[in-house]
Amino acid sequence: MNPIVQAAAQLLRIRRGWVQLGAALATNSYFPTFLKRVPCAGLNCYSCPAAAFACPIGGLQHFVAARQVPLYLGAVLGLTGLITGRLTCGWLCPFGWLQDLAYRLPVHKWSPRARLPWLRFVILAVFVLLLPFLTGEQWFSKICPAGTLEAGIPWVLLSAEVRKQAGWLFAFKVATLALLLGWMTATRRPFCRYFCPLGAVYALFNPISLLRVTVDSSACSGCGQCRTICPVEIDPLTSVNSVECIHCMECVRACPSGALFLGRAGRAPQATTAELRG
Amino acid sequence: MRVQDGRRNVARWLLAAILSAALVTGLVLGQAAQLFAYAWPLCLPCIGIQ
């Protein structure tokens, strides 16, 4: 068993919410700011008054807007994706954790039929790469809800100078965030599923990452618990390790028959859903 | 399936080599310091100020 899979198996012994809380505190620990040389693994605004790391998406826009190839940042994100796939989305991203918490609120739940897995790639291409390259401005930052929540609102509350300058863009961002927060209570992880450009970067590496969940079709009882528990509402039997899977490994934990497990890297699912369900 | 696994492994190692080279090059070019300089002041568009 490779060390990545071993580490992930250890991670599964801990409740995911505690790891997410720890990651959110660590990334916003007001730690000595030399860490801002390092991009945060999850989506976390560097302008948050307590942020310890640089924002990966903000950094990408910065380099692209300056017409430089983001070698360092791209390599850090790429290597993270190559090793763990979208594990960051499932376990470390503070904004992902917020969505998991919001969905626990007892309100009417709604599961959109449209999956649109390509939409976040369009957002990555247009708002993070193309528009910043053409205009020299950071377009995704202008709509980023994590920035509004972690930086915009705190700074408007903390600083009279910032409050004076906040205009229509701030109002637009707060309205967008309010809509998204409402949506988070009804739908599982809508931002991750439809909009997150960082999730899109990691998703590119998900199908070949060292960390993989394996399906043993012969052990599957067809109970469907993996589908029920999946926070991004995919069918783990066919779509685990796909670009939509966030490697939270809840399906591995929930499977009563051990049909889903952390397996040898490179090992592919052994059957299709049709074969599994007869 | 084994052929597919083999291809996946080749892709993995190739990408790992390219990304490692990019990481070293980026560090030599001082991009970590550039990231620090960028991430130090406030991000005005993130806050909602143009």
Indicate if A200 and A223 belong to the same structural domain.
no
CA-to-CA distance for A18 and A91, rounded, in angstroms?
9
Indicate if A166 and A248 belong to the same structural domain.
no
Residue from A166, A30, A14 nearest A91 by CA: A14
Indicate if A25 and A42 belong to the same structural domain.
yes
pLDDT at position A114 is: 86
Alpha carbons within 13 A on the beta-carbon side of A179: 10
Q: Looking at residues A20-39, what average pLDDT do you find? A: 87
Cα A177 from chain centroid? 17
Interface of B with A (CB under 8 A): 1, 4-5, 8-9, 11-12, 15-16, 19-20, 22-23, 25-27, 29, 31-36, 38-40, 42-43, 45-50
3-state secondary structure (DSSP) of residue A170: helix
**Domain final residue, candidates A176, A206, A236:** A206
Q: How confident is the model at residue A1 (pLDDT cuts 50, 70, 90)?
A: low
Which A positions 252-271 lie with beta carbon below 8 A of chain B?
265-268
Buried b (16+ CB within 10 A) or exposed e, A54-93: bbbbbbbbbbbbeeeebbbbbbbbbbbbbbbbbbbbbbbb
pLDDT at position A269 is: 42
**Domain final residue, candidates A206, A227, A257:** A206
Indicate if A165 and A89 belong to the same structural domain.
yes
Worst-scoring range by mean pLDDT, A123-132, A224-233, A258-267, B27-36?
A258-267
CA-to-CA distance for A67 and B11, rounded, in angstroms?
28
Q: How confident is the model at residue A88 (pLDDT cuts 50, 70, 90)?
A: very high
User: Would you state the torsion angle of the CA atoms of residues A202, A207, A213, A214, taken in this order, to the nearest 10 degrees?
Assistant: 180
What token pair was written down for B30?
Answer: 């001082």
Indicate if A167 and A258 belong to the same structural domain.
no
Rounded to the nearest integer, the mean pLDDT of chain A is 90
Does residue A154 carry a pLDDT above 90? yes
Residue from A149, A241, A135 nearest A191 by CA: A149
Indicate if A108 and A22 belong to the same structural domain.
yes
pLDDT at position B1 is: 60
Indicate if A136 and A194 belong to the same structural domain.
yes
Indicate if A267 and A160 belong to the same structural domain.
no
Which A positions 189-228 lie with beta carbon below 8 A of chain B?
205, 207-208, 210
Does residue A276 carry a pLDDT above 70? no
Question: In this predicted model, what pLDDT tens digit does every residue of B1-50 receive, in sequence order?
Answer: 667 778 888 889 999 999 999 999 999 999 999 998 887 778 899 999 87
Q: Looking at residues A38-45, what average pLDDT do you find? A: 92
Which A positions 94-133 lie with beta carbon below 8 A of chain B?
none
pLDDT at position A266 is: 43
CA distance B8 to chain A (A): 6
Indicate if A230 and A175 belong to the same structural domain.
no
The residues that bridge with A214 in the sheet, in sequence order, are: A261
Does residue A278 carry a pLDDT above 50? no
Helices (H), chain B: 2-28, 31-39, 44-47
Parent domain of A135: 3-206
Q: Which residue has the higher pLDDT, A254 or B41?
A: A254
Place of tokens 């620090």: B36
Indicate if A195 and A219 belong to the same structural domain.
no
pLDDT at position A8 is: 81
3-state secondary structure (DSSP) of residue A2: coil
Q: What are phi and psi of A261, to 5 degrees?
A: -150, 165
Q: How confident is the model at residue A12 (pLDDT cuts 50, 70, 90)?
A: confident
Q: Which residue has the higher pLDDT, A5 or A20?
A: A20
CA distances to A16, A90, A196, A249, A259 from A118, in Å: 27, 19, 11, 23, 29
As for how many domains chain A has, the answer is 2
**Domain final residue, candidates A178, A206, A234:** A206
CA-to-CA distance for A197 and A112, rounded, in angstroms?
20
Question: Searching chain A, which residue's CA lies closest to the CA of residue B30?
Answer: A72
Q: Looking at residues A59-63, what average pLDDT do you find? A: 95
Question: Searching chain B, which residue's CA lies closest to the CA of residue A175?
Answer: B48
- The beta strands (E) that lie in chain A are given as 213-215, 260-262
Q: Model ipTM?
A: 0.91
Model confidence, pTM: 0.90
Does residue A265 carry a pLDDT above 80? no
Contact A42, A27 (CB under 8 A): yes
Worst-scoring range by mean pLDDT, A42-51, A60-69, A261-270?
A261-270
Determine, for residues B36 and A79 on separate chains, whether the beta-carbon distance falls below 8 Å.
Answer: no
Indicate if A172 and A222 belong to the same structural domain.
no
Determine, for residues A174 and B48 on separate chains, whether the beta-carbon distance falls below 8 Å.
Answer: yes
Does residue A275 carry a pLDDT above 50? no
Spatial neighbors of A192 by CB under 8 A, at least 6 apart, are: A89, A93, A96, A99, A199, A232, A246
CA-to-CA distance for A150 and A173, rounded, in angstroms?
12
Indicate if A143 and A121 belong to the same structural domain.
yes
Determine, for residues B25 and A71 on separate chains, whether the beta-carbon distance falls below 8 Å.
Answer: yes
CATH number at residue A224: 3.30.70.3270
